[in-house]
Amino acid sequence: MRILVVGAGGVGSAIAVLAQPRGFVQHLTLADIDETQARSTVDRLGDERFDAVKLDASDGEAIVALAREIRADAIVNACDPRFNESIFNAAFAAGCTYLDMAMTLSLPHPERPFEDTGVVLGQYQFDASSKWEERGLLCLAGIGVEPGLSDVFARYAADHLFGSIDEIGVRDGANLTVEGYSFAPTFSIWTTIEECLNPPVIYERERGWFTTEPFSEPETFDFPEGIGPIECVNVEHEEVLLIPRWIDCNRVTFKYGLGDEFIEVLKTIKMLGLDSTEPVAVRGARVSPRDVIAAILPDPAKLGDRMHGQTCAGTWVRGEGTAGGPREVYLYHVVDNDDCMARYGSQAVVLQTALNPVVALELIDSGVWQGRGVVGPEAFDAEPFLELLADYGHPHGLEERPAG
């Protein structure tokens, strides 16, 4: 397979590192507006199948031209979701399979933002699905860790563990610490602000999709492998929009273990208007407040040597088991930061995100996963994905929980 990865930040670079040992990669081009950053990763790999180029992710025509030049079979979007439309459209124009780890952005309902959905995450892509299907092209949307592996877990639970499902709840928590910083996000602050301050979406069979207030419905969730209990709150996330389209269930939620301090920082950012993406005039220049925050805070991809602890992504499911009677399980994936740094040179959150599109690309290349149109990971058989994930050295976990 010939692959174009757009974005050479932490996730894009980790994709290249993870793909390098796998035989299915015929050629991989790592592209970024900062060619030096892409070149650094490629030089470290020392593999003639990999190269680095300069590319502006907002320039759709340039993406199409590069994809055609390198004869790309697939384009992987490893950029912030604000670039999704240009890369998604370019993949269609170039006739390439498209993968991303976060879908196109939402817009809250103009009058009832905490009750009704407006433009939902991925709506731009869902609306284009018939065009992709007619051309026989596949857009595999939301194939990071969350969304991504969490959706694969939901599919596996529906197919192998449950006769009927009452609720699917994605739950994310970590005990990561960063030395030397009082506040240092472990993932893109631009994306974190977007998903945490937008109205969270919930799905219920009788109501469909609806919204609530940010950080609502706090609950304490006990995470495995020593992480322990963490308070989790509702956050806007793609799984809630994806899972009900392919899996029969009564309710879907996404809750994130942010911590009180992190929530207070986000609330302050919102209160001061620093979450805005609209440029403002500052001494003759026009800058976005959110871009300023992203520029001031440390780059999460470069914090690996200061980070310690584990991060857990997983999917909690409750319903009726295949043998009858109530059942609750938590399917999960835990990674340790020190281990990730030693094995890959990437910090844990970045590595965990990058792992899943590489596994998906290998399944697509082999023909095990086949499809057309705009689909999520839960549209495919989960078992071969989890088997291949273990072959990459990352087996998942499954925890039975007392059924209430």
DSSP 245-285: HHS--SEEEEEE---HHHHHHHHHHHHTTTT--S-EEETTE
**Percentage of residues in the chain with pLDDT exceeding 90?**
87
| Domains of the chain by start residue, with CATH | 2-100 (3.40.50.720), 149-346+395-401 (3.30.360.10)
Q: What gap in Å lies between CA 218 and CA 187, rounded to an integer?
A: 22
pLDDT at position 311 is 96
Q: What gap in Å lies between CA 257 and CA 330, rounded to an integer?
A: 16
pLDDT higher than threshold 90 for residue 124 = yes
Indicate the pLDDT class of residue 143, thresholds 50, 70 and 90: very high
How confident is the prediction for the chain on average, in pLDDT? 95
Task: Dump pLDDT digits (tens) for 239-267.
Answer: 999 999 999 999 999 999 988 888 999 99
Indicate the pLDDT class of residue 341, thresholds 50, 70 and 90: very high
- Using DSSP's 3-state secondary structure scheme, residue 142 falls into coil
Task: Dump pLDDT digits (tens) for 301-314.
Answer: 888 889 999 999 99
pTM listed for this prediction: 0.95
Higher pLDDT, 291 or 240: 240
DSSP 190-209: HHHHHHHHSPPEEEETTTEE
Indicate the pLDDT class of residue 188, thresholds 50, 70 and 90: confident
- Using DSSP's 3-state secondary structure scheme, residue 25 falls into coil
pLDDT at position 182 is 77
pLDDT at position 301 is 80
pLDDT higher than threshold 90 for residue 108 = yes
First to last CA, the chain: 47
pLDDT higher than threshold 90 for residue 389 = yes
Indicate the pLDDT class of residue 344, thresholds 50, 70 and 90: very high
DSSP state, residue 166: E
Indicate the pLDDT class of residue 189, thresholds 50, 70 and 90: confident
Average pLDDT of the segment spanning 19-39? 96
At residue 184, what are phi and psi to the nearest 5 degrees? Answer: -150, 100
pLDDT at position 262 is 87
Question: 136: closest CA among 332, 300, 371, 375?
Answer: 371
